[in-house]
Amino acid sequence: MAKIDDLTINEARQIAAMFSGETPRIAASASPWEIGKNYLIRTVTMIDTGELVSVGEQELVLEKASWIADTGRFSGALQSCNFSEVEPFPEGRLIVGRGSVIDAIQIPKLPRSQK
């Protein structure tokens, strides 16, 4: 049995949250998101790609972003990053609400040419 003196700060926060009615926070190191990596993110209404530059409580922020109107064959497109229809966003940041995310995957390169 673990002793209270051996608990990590994150474990202590989780225990405290159990008794306070709060939702426990996930430690930053436990986040699956990697800043600086390229992602394809499927949301409830569209597919976006971009370089992840920030992760907030309610949003993901992408740069060099594009809307993927049509992926073509999905599995092959994820590997080659050759999508059937691509609409790049203007330079700047794209903010995606985390509540709309269905799934996300890192991709090797970003499509930036309109197609």
Q: Could you give the CA distance from residue 39 to residue 41 in angstroms, rounded to a whole number? A: 6
Task: Flag whether pLDDT at 8 surpasses 90.
Answer: no
Domains of the chain by residue range: 1-30, 32-115
Model confidence, pTM:
0.73
Q: What is the DSSP letter of 108?
A: S
32-115: CATH architecture: Roll (2.30)
pLDDT digits (tens, 9 = 90+) for 68-104: 999 999 999 999 999 999 999 999 999 999 999 999 9
| Residues recorded for the chain | 115
